[in-house]
Amino acid sequence: MRPEARSTSSRPVAWAVIEPRDPWARARDAIEAMENHLAAIAALADERALALRELLEQGSTRAEIARGLGVTPAVVTKILKRPVDQPLSL
C-alpha cells in the first residue's frame, strides 16, 4: 500500500470526499462516486456526439469540426461512430 493511501484525514478524491472510516465504507463510497462520474461522462460524450452531428447537418465538414475543436478528423469520426442515447424530447 502506498504511504499516502493510509492517511486518516478526509481528502477529496475525484470530486468526492472520502471520510476516514472503515475500509468497507470507503470502498463503497468510492464505488458509488465512480458510478456517478461514469454516468456523467457517458452523458457528456452523448452530448458531444449530438453536437458534432448537428454541426455536420449545418454543413460543417469533419475537417472543419476537427480544426475548431483542436482534434484530428479521425477523432471526429470516432466520436460520430459511437452509439448515442438520444435526449428525451418534452
**Sign of torsion, CA 7 10 11 15?**
positive
Cβ neighbors of 32 (< 8 A, separation 6 or more) are none
Total domain count, the chain: 1
pLDDT digits (tens, 9 = 90+) for 12-51: 555 566 667 788 988 888 899 899 899 999 999 999 999 9
**Is the distance from CB of 57 to CB of 65 less than 8 angstroms?**
no
88, part of any domain: no
1 pLDDT exceeds 90?
A: no
5 lies in some domain: no
Range of the domain at 35: 12-81
- Burial environment of residue 12 by CB neighbours within 10 A (0 to 12, 13 to 18, 19 or more): exposed
Residue 87 lies in a domain: no
